[in-house]
Amino acid sequence: MLRCIINNIEGPGIKVQRGSRAQLFLNDIIECKIGIQAISADPVISMNKIRKNMESGISILTKNGLRSDAVVKYNWVEKNFGDGIVLSGDQNFTRVEKNHHICQNRKAGVKTQDMASVKIVNNLIFSNYGQGCLLVDSSTAYIEKNEIFENYKANIAFGGVNSGDTVILNNLIYRSRSEGIFAIEGGFSWIKHNDIYDNIDGIIMFDSCIHIANNEIHENQRSGIICTGSSFP
């Protein structure tokens, strides 16, 4: 699907059903309920402008244990009234890569939930009214080489005992109005080689076990790292 303008739809602008490997390029999707929705499918979503949708910009979910290997890259996902990108469900291995703008969404820029295990690599994620990246209990992510900044809540937030194996590596994380990284009840995870600066707090951990190494944490307004509860970094 190429160069379509899709707007004012009461459901998804584009819906990709089970097993499809749809190629979605250079579309402009505005003011639908959901911009693009994929269910246990493997679409390539690239170079689209996905804006001002009533719920999420892109929603990729898996059902009944069926796998998704969707690729989301080179898109503008902005000003949606829910989350920018939502990734849900077991066996969800979506890759979110090299998106130019994931910004100004009313909730999180990228949200993972319900046992999704995704890769978030080389994106610009900024100025969202929720978190930049939000990993809800039981989901995990590999987060590398992103520039995540100026989000109203934490630039990255994750937690839950099943959030183990989350890796946060080589990111620029700065100017959040809250925390650079916020973890609560997090399983064993890694925060390495990041530049974390000019947030209110650099890293806050509640009851979490995280390996923290080789980061540059500087010029945060209140604290560099806070460990509280039973945290064991």
Residue 214 region by backbone torsions, left for phi larger than 0, else alpha for psi between -120 and 50, else beta: left
- 58-61: strand order across its sheet: 12-16, 34-39, 58-61, 85-88, 110-113, 133-135, 156-159, 179-184, 201-206, 223-228
Angle at alpha carbon of residue 203, lines to 198 and 157, rounded to 5°: 100
**Distance, CA of 1 to CA of 89 (rounded, Å):** 26
Q: Which two tokens stand for residue 205?
A: 């951990």
For the cut 90, the answer to whether the pLDDT of residue 56 exceeds it is: yes
- Top pLDDT among 53 and 65 is at 53
Under DSSP, the state recorded for 68 is: B
For residue 209, name the pLDDT band (cuts at 50, 70, 90). confident
For residue 192, name the pLDDT band (cuts at 50, 70, 90). very high
- Top pLDDT among 209 and 7 is at 7
Neighbouring-strand partners of residue 5: 28
Q: State pTM to two decimals.
A: 0.97
% residues pLDDT > 70 (the chain): 100
